[in-house]
Amino acid sequence: MNDIDHQNQSLPNTDIYQHGEPLHPQQLTPLTELVLTHVDNNYPKLQLYFAGTVYSLIATIVCLAIGFIAPFSVTAKLLLILFILILAALIIRLTYLKALTICYGIFKDELIMRQGLIWMSTTALPYTRLQHVNLSQGPLERQYQLVTLKCFSAGSGEAEIHLPGLNADIAEHLRQHLMHQAAENQAPDPKMMTATLDSIHE
């Protein structure tokens, strides 16, 4: 047996799986045209309250330290305190606006999540790679009946999709749907198994 025959035998049988006709770029769905659903309206409010409380407290402590401890002139202290207050207000506002951008979509073959205010991130998790779906709820989320959905993929120790701000009832239905889709998409195809067995027997 020569080297060419040996290489031909080692190549996988590409006739088993039919890829179908390739799609042209014009046939692809643009990311901007995906129909996505925003998270619950209470989630941005929760983020606003939480960020407002935390950063207001931090800004107050820093301003008091500047006013009573820092060895600056009165004008410098006032300017620095004004800068701290503006910075805290800006961070609180950006936290709220970022929460408004979080959205998701349940499609035939994958789950898509999009978020980001300045740098927008779109994450797609195919059901064929989905292994586990977890729901978590913190004490603040419990007050608003909100849940965070975490999707773990094959070979990943961390959640590939971390989707906060879901209504508790919707999140449970979504978890069951995702696990059902994962079980269906990861089940062995009988036609594929038959073709594989036929190729082995040949």
C-alpha angle 80-64-83 in degrees, rounded to nearest 5: 20
The parent domain of residue 132 ranges over 104-187
pLDDT tens-digit series, residues 107-142: 888 999 999 988 889 999 999 889 889 999 999 999
Query: What value does the mean pLDDT take over residues 144-167?
Result: 88
Domain identity same for 79 and 113: no
Question: How far lies 22's CA from each of 18, 19, 27, 42, 200, in Å?
Answer: 11, 8, 10, 43, 29
Structure confidence at residue 182 (pLDDT): 87
State how many domains the chain has: 2
Domain identity same for 170 and 108: yes
Structure confidence at residue 20 (pLDDT): 62
Domain identity same for 111 and 177: yes
Domain identity same for 127 and 167: yes
6 versus 77: the higher-pLDDT residue is 77
Q: Of 101, 130, 156, which one is at a domain's C-terminal end?
A: 101
* Predicted TM-score (pTM) above 0.75: no
CB < 8 Å & 24+ apart, contacts of 125-132? 125/151, 125/153, 125/160, 125/161, 126/185, 127/178, 127/181, 127/182, 127/184, 127/185, 127/186, 128/182, 128/185, 128/186, 129/153, 129/154, 130/178, 130/179, 130/181, 130/182, 130/185, 131/182
The DSSP bridge pattern shows strands 146-153 and 161-167 to be antiparallel
Let me know: does 111 contact 127? Beta carbons within 8 Å: yes
Domain identity same for 43 and 90: yes
Evaluate the CA torsion angle 179, 123, 107, 174 in order and state its sign. positive
Structure confidence at residue 87 (pLDDT): 96
Domain assignment of residue 12, yes or no: no
What CATH number has the domain bearing residue 137? 2.30.29.30
Domain assignment of residue 31, yes or no: no
Confidence label for 185 from pLDDT (cuts 50, 70 and 90): confident
Structure confidence at residue 24 (pLDDT): 63
Confidence label for 193 from pLDDT (cuts 50, 70 and 90): very low
| Residue 177, amino acid | H
Percent of the chain with pLDDT over 90: 51
Structure confidence at residue 108 (pLDDT): 87
3-state secondary structure of 115: strand
Q: What share of the chain is helix, strand, coil (3-state, %, to 5)?
A: 50, 20, 30
Query: What value does the mean pLDDT take over residues 183-196?
Result: 59
The tokens 């060419």 sit on which residue? 4
pLDDT tens-digit series, residues 22-59: 756 655 556 556 789 999 999 999 999 999 999 999 99
Residue 168 in this model has a pLDDT that exceeds 50: yes
Domain assignment of residue 70, yes or no: yes
Structure confidence at residue 96 (pLDDT): 96
Domain identity same for 123 and 183: yes
Let me know: does 94 contact 126? Beta carbons within 8 Å: no
Contacts of 160 (CB under 8 A, 6+ apart): 123, 125, 151, 152, 153
Helix and strand counts by DSSP (H, E) for the chain = 6, 7
